Amino acid sequence: MSDKKENLDMPLGEFREVGKKLVDWSADYLDNLETFDVLPKIKPGDVKSKLPQNAPQKSESFEEIINDLDKIILPGITHWQHPNFMAYFASTASGPGILADLISSALNVNGMIWRTSPALTELEQTVLVWYQKMLGIPNSFKGIVYDTASVSTLHAIASAREYLQAGIREKGMSGAPKLRLYCSEHAHNSIDKSCLTLGLGLDGIKKILSDENFSMIPEELENAIKDDRANGILPVCVVATIGTTSSTAVDPVDKIAEICERENIWLHVDMAYAGVTAMLPEMKTYFDRIEKADSIVSNPHKWLFVPIDFSTLYIRNPEVLKRAFSLSAEYLKTAEDSVAENYMDYGIQLGRRFRALKLWFVIRYFGVEGLQERVREHIRIAGLVAKWIDESENFERLAPTPFSTVCFRAKPKSISDENTLNELNEKLISEVNATGKVLLSHTKLNGKFTIRLVISGIRQEERHAEEVWKLLKETLKNII
């Protein structure tokens, strides 16, 4: 204790000792993952009730802090790192990614402008070019890192709005013509949130009908644009999704791009989850014509083993993004402004953390081939699950499985009523999740309660999929 008083920060001897302990803690955690229930068996408020309501007035020891980490926090954790976390889009952090986060915090640099940390800016530029080449995005695009796809997309749509040159930057939205954005009815609701934020409003979104595979119908898009133009509404942006959130459907980017080119409308491609599969030659078919997009979002924090948060936006005409957001404040002017990139000019935020370290560590540690192998293996395992379902008498698949997400439901021969099937599947997923052995999530497709099983975690092997499939079959037997 007296030692602490003499030091302004934690003494370095203690930092080393505790740091090593916490690296061991992390390794033990990863080693013991499979002993935890994926979803904690607790109620809302349980964690809070164990925490003191006031901050400690006096210094506490790290021993006490770690003790509470084990006793209060860990039992309240949903284990995203667990190999049987197969819900949402399973996102995992790899060893090198975790360690990069530690270094990023140790350096604690703020990359608002080039001078405030040249290596942050230049490493971000370099690894984003690596990743861009891995995905086959032409080098004419410029990449930038944001925290999440929601924020990447917000910046893309802000660029689309600026691209109109409708004077909105100066005068705001009140004098602007009515604007419309188009996306499929299955697009992620981050698009809606961007429209809320940017003043387009929910009325500013037109959801385009999709076909039986949940892909946007280009003719419907064409008609919607025509109708709007006839009514004096100005089209601002089309969002095409490769890998929708519900069923991982793929919108026909080639046809949509043709329409956007002809109509001179900004095309944003949302491939937050599925984008990483563009690394694989056999998956290229899903990414046909992405080079026609004006902006593309892909999330390494989803399926490339980079700890959350890490989203990339690639933009064909970065000057438009810069036009939308750059302001120059006297205290931020530097001698290098004409030759160096200042990231503050490309978005809302001034401060930015050193995220590029995470992707740099991860790509170097696994190598492009190592990453390709892992993603390819996930697609293979998901394909197996799809096959088991197709071959089973009591289950059916409810959507194509182009990536690593399987959409299905139980459908015993004896039941044909849709409401009864929905209730049965709701019961099935809740019983299966209540075992703690797995976490699955759900969606609705054509009114059918749909179970989603996702394979995209770095620790997922075929045996985990087998275990979950067995559990689903056994649980179903017990509830029908």
- 149 in contact with ligand PLP (CB under 6 A): yes
CB of 62 to ligand PLP, least distance (A): 32
Please identify, using beta-carbon distances, which residue of 443 and 475 lies nearer to ligand PLP: 443
One residue of 36, 89, 343, 395 binding ligand PLP per CB under 6 A: 89
Q: Cβ of 326: how many Cβ atoms within 10 Å?
A: 13
Tokens of residue 322, six digits: 């810069």
- 358 in contact with ligand PLP (CB under 6 A): no
One residue of 245, 401, 456, 475 binding ligand PLP per CB under 6 A: 245
Q: Which of residues 283-322 bind ligand PLP (CB under 6 A)?
A: 299, 311
- 210 in contact with ligand PLP (CB under 6 A): no
Q: Could you tell me the strand order of the sheet in which 405-410 lies?
A: 395-397, 405-410, 448-454, 441-445
Please state, in angstroms and rounded to a whole number, the distance separating the CA atoms of residues 155 and 193. Answer: 12
User: Do 182 and 238 meet the contact criterion of CB atoms below 8 Å apart?
Assistant: yes
Tokens of residue 469, six digits: 């499939």
Amino acid at the residue 458: I
CB of 303 to ligand PLP, least distance (A): 10
Instruction: Select the span of 94-102, 146-154, 357-365, 446-454 touching ligand PLP (CB under 6 A).
Output: 146-154
- 190 in contact with ligand PLP (CB under 6 A): yes
Please state, in angstroms and rounded to a whole number, the distance separating the CA atoms of residues 425 and 435. Answer: 16
Q: Which residue has the tokens 């000792």?
A: 17
Please identify, using beta-carbon distances, which residue of 311 and 475 lies nearer to ligand PLP: 311
Angle subtended at Cα 432 by Cα 381 and Cα 468, rounded to the nearest 5 degrees:
20
- The helix (run of H) or strand (run of E) holding residue 248 is none
Please identify, using beta-carbon distances, which residue of 81 and 190 lies nearer to ligand PLP: 190
Amino acid at the residue 142: K
- 155 in contact with ligand PLP (CB under 6 A): no
Residues in the interface with ligand PLP (CB under 6 A) total 14
Please state, in angstroms and rounded to a whole number, the distance separating the CA atoms of residues 23 and 373. Answer: 27
CB of 275 to ligand PLP, least distance (A): 9
CB of 240 to ligand PLP, least distance (A): 11
CB of 146 to ligand PLP, least distance (A): 9
Instruction: Select the span of 137-145, 176-184, 241-249, 250-258 touching ligand PLP (CB under 6 A).
Output: 241-249
Q: Which residue has the tokens 């408020």?
A: 45
Please identify, using beta-carbon distances, which residue of 168 and 200 lies nearer to ligand PLP: 200
Please identify, using beta-carbon distances, which residue of 182 and 273 lies nearer to ligand PLP: 273
Q: Taking CB under 6 A as the rule, which mask of x and - marks residues 255-274 in contact with ligand PLP?
A: ---------------x-xx-
Instruction: Select the span of 204-212, 238-246, 323-331, 345-353 touching ligand PLP (CB under 6 A).
Output: 238-246
One residue of 148, 215, 246, 460 binding ligand PLP per CB under 6 A: 148
One residue of 150, 295, 298, 425 binding ligand PLP per CB under 6 A: 150
Q: Which residue has the tokens 């991860």?
A: 362
Question: In this structure, is the dihedral angle defined by the CA atoms of residues 65, 71, 72 and 76, taken in order, positive or negative?
Answer: positive
Please identify, using beta-carbon distances, which residue of 36 and 182 lies nearer to ligand PLP: 182
Query: What are 313's strand-pairing partners?
Result: 144, 297
Please identify, using beta-carbon distances, which residue of 168 and 279 lies nearer to ligand PLP: 279
Distance (Å) of CA 383 to CA 83, 377, 402, 442: 17, 10, 9, 19
Torsions phi, psi for 264 (to 5 deg)? 55, 50
User: Do 110 and 117 meet the contact criterion of CB atoms below 8 Å apart?
Assistant: yes
One residue of 104, 132, 241, 460 binding ligand PLP per CB under 6 A: 241
Angle subtended at Cα 349 by Cα 348 and Cα 354, rounded to the nearest 5 degrees:
140
Residues that bind ligand PLP (CB under 6 A): 89, 148-150, 188, 190, 241, 243, 245, 270, 272-273, 299, 311
